[in-house]
A and B are shown apart, each in its own frame.
Chain A
Amino acid sequence: MTVGVSERQNAIRLLACINAACVPVAEAAYPDDVVGALYAQSKLQALDFWMRNPDYLANELINEYEKSQDSAQLHLAEKILNSREPDLRRVPMVRYHFGAFEPIDNPLAILRSVDFIRIERTGSPGQIRKHSYLLKKRGRDAIEGLAHKSPEIRWYTNRAKVVAELAGDAGGKALKDRQYLQTEYADTVLKSIIAPITERVRERLDATIMENSK
């Protein structure tokens, strides 16, 4: 008996990401019930990559620590590795030409059918240039209500906050470039699962902690 990750789980994870990373919108441009917007699918994919690969996230947190000397980042990285998240919470992704990519139409459709989000597409069908994900108020209420009720879902909303903060204003391409810096990611053959970097991050973390204790 094997139980895989369901599309509804994917939908919730993406919703948490959109909720955490969307920016407020000008009231005039959208109807009242749109509370924020996340521009570009590539950014959503990049955020989702950190959600699904805790080792890459921990590595990025160490990078962040080295820049800011904020020890909270280092502690979180340590916590991620110590709780074996890379083994237990990885949801493998395949590499495509423009980075980690997973068809997300199905989970997004689930979110759209219950009217949690709206998706704006520019360009013509078959030639879509850009997706914009507009979060509706009922979508935000739903994910936050669900997180409040269920500790399983709360993990996603908490983690999405971390990821969104890490990504900041950076666009999808910039994030993808940062993720590409990892040899394992860059060297991954097209259409193959991106390899874990857990061992290397563990060593880096230990070295950094050692360096700190000096």
Chain B
Amino acid sequence: MTMGWSEKVAKRARVTVEEMEGVLSKYSISPDLSSKSVHNMYISRLLFSGEKSGSIVGNFKFEWDGLGPGVWSVASDGTNLVGKSTVLEIILWCLRGEPKGLQDDVRRWLDHVELDFVIDSDLYHLNFDVNEGVPIGALSIHDKSVIKPIDNFSSDGGFSAVMSRFMMEKFDLSLIPTRFKPSSGKEKTVLHGWTALSGALYIGGDHAHLLGDVQMGGLPARLLQLYVGLPWAHTLMQAKTILKQLEYEEIQRVSKVTSRDASLAELKKNLEADMKVAQKALEKLGDGKGDLKKIKELNDQLSSLSKEIIRDERSSEQTDVSILSMQAASDEDERQLRNLKENAVAQEFFNGIAPSCCPRCEKAVAKEKVVNEVKTMECSVCTETISLKDSESVNEAQIVISERQAKTIDAITDLKNQRASANKELVQKKLKQTDLTKEILALNSSDAFEVRRKAELDLARVEGALARILPKPLGEEKLINPDLNICKAILKEAQAAYDEHRKDLMKSLDVEILEIAKRIGIVSLEEVQISSNASMSLKKGGESSSFSRLTLGERLRLRIATAVALLRVGKHTGAGRHPGMIIIDSAEEANETDLAILLSELKKINDEMDYLQIFFASDNAQVVMSTLPKENCKIAHPGSYLW
């Protein structure tokens, strides 16, 4: 039993069918599975009226009724500017909801426009007034002779929206998404609607492109695929666009992640550099043991110095005590010396005076007792022996004491000198003690400690910052959006399904184009090969050629051939979307024979197909009238206008 398309995709993407369906729905990708019917359209009646102004004046009313499948022509007799193109342009304006090449002055002349058209078997009626070029009216449907409005409009935008919505829906057309990158700004998806799709209805101008009139974003290829109804072409196209979108988003995301990774790597690099700097700074500061050693040395110095100072102070105190006691001794000696002197004076004085009375009884001392004193050396008062200290012994005593005192004073001087120098040293030692204390204090509480601590903090901070970065593997967030993978699978399977059908279709298309092109006038054409991107390679007169190298007339015919071939193959496959109507403006066609062949062959082809409606503008009324039935033609005779 063979797998269904959805199962194939799910298997390829290694997801469940439900997950795959979710992605299809999420991105509005529609698998080309349902069978669709081909729709057909033709115009049944055209009417427009108004008033000319400028060099030509007057009211006008143009009505073309009884239209249906077949070849219809507006023609003039060798002259232009008779209103042929206007008829075609008004039809295009009505169908597109947007004018294509309608001249502004003509648009302003218009008062009223009506277009009846049939899609499948339903009759639709477009009816609007034109006010200063602006369409105001409605689209309606004839339902059993009753006109039911479908939608109204009163502006260019509104008219465009009404017709676009209606046609897209009627022909089961999808917006054509293409990725488009403006000259400035981001790449984006642009949706092409009815205006672009309807380009395939009109064949005119300089025939620059094989299909449509917009070349950008691979639009011709899409038109080809859409109108020919290549099975899976639309799914493939959708998948491709969505994939591009997802890939673009992925690139954006990855580049974001990459740039984030890059900045993280940069940060890491910087932090590592910072860490090295911090480590160096810390190394330079050392482990702090140097400081401790120094502090210990200084403390030892301080301790021994303090002991010395205490010892010195004690010895200084002892010196002071010695000085004091010596001073006391010196003083004592001085007092004794004074006593010696004073006493000598007093003794000499009192000895020189004879006593007059007894201090006890106050009786007068007898004269003879006083005289006797010298002989007996007895006191005339108390009769005690008088001992006379001679002045020599006093002098001796004075000398002894004086010498002793002099020695004491010398000793005091020495001690004082000794104490002065000791004090001087002590002052120096105390200064050094202060210095040492300060130095130790500085080392203990110093900046060195602070600096070291700061350096350690710096390092810790950098390490912390690095640790916060490192555990996260770089690019962890590089996980791809899972939709991308599923979308790739969808694309692969859509491509496979598309490829399966495409070859046969394209071959049929080539055959049809070649046949029709030869019939309508490119007789020398030998081979046509249209690729799925709508580029055409061909062989003509034994030479390989390409669309752009053909003559204007040849390009016109190839475009017609291609449009008709699309219709025919589309009808055959039952997947074509072309409305079945072609508007050809070939005013430049000069060769009568060629034109006659083109028109007659178109008529034959049209007859074969019975669902094709062609509007053909020509300036060769003669050929037109001779080829087409009279009722199929609107002819502007010489000197007159079509309307």
Contact = CB atoms under 8 A, between A and B. Distances in A.
Given A1-B397, A113-B355, A114-B356, A88 B339 contact: no
A112 B339 CA distance: 22
A114 B350 contact: yes
Interface size class of B (residues with CB under 8 A): 20 to 34
Given A9-B339, A110-B350, A113-B358, A3 B331 contact: no
Contacts of B336: 1-3
Given A8-B343, A87-B331, A152-B338, A113 B359 contact: yes
A156 to B, nearest CB: 9
B63 interface: no
B359 A6 contact: no
B334 interface: yes
Interface residues of A, number: 26
Contacts of A9: 339, 342-343, 346
Interface string B340-371: 11110111011001111111101001000000
Interface in A87-108: 87-89, 108
B335 interface: yes
B355 A8 contact: no
A91 to B, nearest CB: 9
A113 B356 contact: yes
Nearest to B394: A3
B292 interface: no
Interface in B158-194: none
B356 A6 contact: no
A112 B359 contact: yes
B401 interface: yes
Q: Does more than half of chain A's interface fall in helix, strand or loop, or is it mixed?
A: helix
A73 B381 CA distance: 45
Nearest to B382: A113
B310 interface: no
A110 B359 contact: yes
Contacts of A6: 339, 342-343, 346-347
Contact of B362 (A2, A112, A150): A112
Given A3-B339, A4-B339, A153-B345, A114 B355 contact: yes
Contacts of B337: 3
B273 interface: no
A152 B331 contact: no
A115 B337 CA distance: 29
B400 interface: yes
Contact of B359 (A84, A87, A109, A142): A109
A5 interface: yes
Interface in B71-88: none
A1 B401 contact: yes
B400 A1 contact: yes
Contact of A146 (B335, B345, B358, B381): B345
A54 to B, nearest CB: 13
Interface in A7-32: 8-9, 11-12
A9 B339 CA distance: 8
B370 to A, nearest CB: 12
B397 A3 contact: yes
A103 to B, nearest CB: 14
A8 B347 contact: yes
Given A6-B339, A150-B345, A88 B356 contact: no
5 contacts: A1-B400, A11-B350, A87-B328, A114-B350, A153-B342
Give me the 5 closest cross-chain CB pairs, A-B, nearest first.
Answer: A109-B359, A8-B346, A115-B356, A3-B336, A112-B359
